[in-house]
Amino acid sequence: MVSTVTLDKLVSLCKRRGFIFQTADIYGGLNGVYDAGPLGTLMKSNVRALWQQSLQRLDKDIVFIDGALLGPETMWKASGHLESFHDPLVECKSCNSRFRADDVDLARACPRCGKTDWTDVREFHLMFKTQLGASVEQSSVAYLRPETAQSVFVNFKNVWTTSRVKIPFGIAQIGKAFRNEITPKQFLFRMREFEQMELEWFCTEATAREFFDFWATERTSFYKSIGVNQTHIRLRSHEKEELSHYSTATSDVEYEFPFGWKELEGIAYRGCYDLSQHAQHSKKDLAVFDEETKESYTPHVIECSVGVDRLFLTLLFNAYCEEAVEGEVRTVLRLHPSVAPIKAAFLPLVNKLAEPCERIYAEFKKCGISVQFDVSGSIGKRYRRQDEIGTPYCFTYDFESAETGTVTVRHRDSMKQERIAINSIASYITHTSPFLTPCPH
């Protein structure tokens, strides 16, 4: 290793290789909002698929929904977001810059203009408000959801009555969420438009503590299964004063970023807060009937919530590596194969071997596997290009290939090469796909 990963290096790689672009780049960007490029899009869909699969593989009932991004004001009033979803804000009276009060030291000067003249701290509401249609009535006010969870709670009865599920069971969802963060920062870490993957696990009050521990263990081991370095990950219980308005116990799965230990996923015991609130405000019965005790009760909820973008950033930090190779610096993304955007590259050693090599590549492409074919530049440069985007295998078609029915396979991490039969390429590639990976349980 020649140097450690920094945020700047990662941002630069993401832009250079087409993982992430600033939104509306050509107009100067939009703070806290990003677009995924071709490689970022492939990698994000792997992340989503792996998360979904990690839940589907369990011997538990978990169904999935895809809720709307907009919700009526009454819903956000019931959830507590209208009243409680804000951050403390201060403004520098001299240059009018605004900061989250917990991000700056108010005893010191403004980091932008150097003057010390702060306003009092006030609460800043984080939800994006909008108006539906041309009407200006209060009932047409809507908000973009600041968490996907509420779509699950307001659909609880719909799912319950249509899906033949029984307590305990889970409703999971992947989708966009929006927060008007005062200071979006650290690239994808704190954004204004981002994506969440959330599981709401419905159970009885008596079993909630047990399930809280179950999910904390399960979610931590998920990160291990997708290659997150165990020395950079930990589970931390929240202190009482850190808890959100809905939670009585929360543990965070934290990752050690270059800017410190930070939350990657939150596991929260939400009690029966959300369903009770929505039942009270909507005046709909959201309780379930227990056939054994012949009583109705409101289920309790354990929530596991992680951001797609934050996990994506974590996986990049976890994988980024620079090392000295033959007097040069090799940048390599040591991504777990299941996460890697490109599963394999097919490289003819020289131009005139392109055709047979491209035929092998086309066989895999036809199966819907994301593979690349690259003929331009020296073979060494082409290997480096694939290293930088985390491609686990490069298959090189050389002068022996036609005669012996073989290619060489080069392993990204060790850079070792071995000669293998062309018909065994598939066995390498199937292990890289989240859809094709054999079940580990």
Q: Which residue is nearest to ligand GAP (CB)?
A: 307
Looking at the Cβ atoms of 66 and 328, the one nearer to ligand GAP is 66
Question: Tokens for 440?
Answer: 């580990």
- Min dist. Cβ of residue 406 to ligand GAP (A): 45
Beta strands 260-271 and 300-307 are antiparallel
- Min dist. Cβ of residue 194 to ligand GAP (A): 4
Long-range contacts of 208-212 (CB under 8 A, 24+ apart): 208/269, 208/271, 208/300, 208/302, 209/269, 211/168, 211/302, 212/249, 212/251, 212/267, 212/269, 212/302
Taken as a whole, the chain contains a residue count of 441
Looking at the Cβ atoms of 265 and 387, the one nearer to ligand GAP is 265
CB-based burial, 72-107: b 16+ in 10 Å, e otherwise: eeebbebbbbbeebbbebbbbeeeeeebbbeebeee
Looking at the Cβ atoms of 190 and 382, the one nearer to ligand GAP is 190
- Min dist. Cβ of residue 258 to ligand GAP (A): 17
Looking at the Cβ atoms of 9 and 262, the one nearer to ligand GAP is 262
- Min dist. Cβ of residue 233 to ligand GAP (A): 13
* Contacts to ligand GAP by CB under 6 A: 147, 149, 179, 181, 190-191, 194, 196, 198, 263-266, 303, 305-307, 309-310
Beta strands 34-36 and 20-22 are antiparallel
Beta strands 62-65 and 169-178 are parallel
Looking at the Cβ atoms of 157 and 310, the one nearer to ligand GAP is 310
CB 329 within 8 A of CB 323: yes
Which DSSP string corresponds to 356-375? HHHHHHHHHHHTT--EEE--
Looking at the Cβ atoms of 251 and 305, the one nearer to ligand GAP is 305
- Min dist. Cβ of residue 273 to ligand GAP (A): 12
- Min dist. Cβ of residue 389 to ligand GAP (A): 23
- Min dist. Cβ of residue 250 to ligand GAP (A): 8
- Min dist. Cβ of residue 268 to ligand GAP (A): 6
Looking at the Cβ atoms of 19 and 346, the one nearer to ligand GAP is 19
CB-based burial, 337-354: b 16+ in 10 Å, e otherwise: bbbbbbbbbbbbbeeebb
Q: How far is CA 231 from the centre of its chain?
A: 20
Task: Tell which residue, 390, 379, 283, has the closest CA to residue 39.
Answer: 390
Looking at the Cβ atoms of 91 and 181, the one nearer to ligand GAP is 181
